[in-house]
Structure 1
Amino acid sequence: ENGTSTCAPFELVGRALWDPASGRSQMAAADTQEDCCQKCHELQDCQAWIFEKFGQSCRWIRFTDDSCLHNPGHLRCRCVAHSGMTFGFKPTSGIIWVKRPS
């Protein structure tokens, strides 16, 4: 089983945010996929997130490549990774729900 990540150039965001309760950065304290996604959503500069399941490691990112900077959901912003890697992004337009055929 493959995972998803990004192969597009990016920079980390939110590195200086501190979590006094855990004594770690907020990014390090986001040790579940759900926390990683939710905290990225709350962070204005965060366009996407990468979560590594095995190391419980979260990265919040902002793209530096023009195509992904303006459309983080574009397919060229994604690539195949190992099974423990998950990538998510903030949509830049309305979400379209598609009903799967029964």
Structure 2
Amino acid sequence: MTTAPAPSDHSTDAARHGYADHKADHLARLHKIEGQVRGVIRMVDDDRYCTDVLTQIAATTRALQEVALGLLDDHVRHCVQDAVQADPAQGESKYAELTTALRRTLRL
């Protein structure tokens, strides 16, 4: 089992994260996903048919991917765009950070 990477120290970033405007939406989706995961656990506990469990896992995975895409979109539209406009060197750093985030999201 892999562990989540340690949070990055972005103390030089603006105090407000790029997803701040959509935080409630992201949290609502994540709470729904949390419920889906609990449902999958119940399905396994109740010995439900394999393909039914797999279908729910696929739906949960897709829901997490949608949250990730939303966060990436927020990052580009806020963090990256603001950095590029403020300072070219800082913008280059944000482009590199974006590439790393995409690699993690796409598992490349």
TM-score, normalising length from structure 1?
Answer: 0.29
Q: From the CA coordinates, give the structure whose radius of gyration is larger.
A: 2
Greater percentage in strand = 1
The answer to which structure, 1 or 2, has the higher relative contact order (CA under 8 A, 6+ apart) is 1
Greater percentage in helix = 2
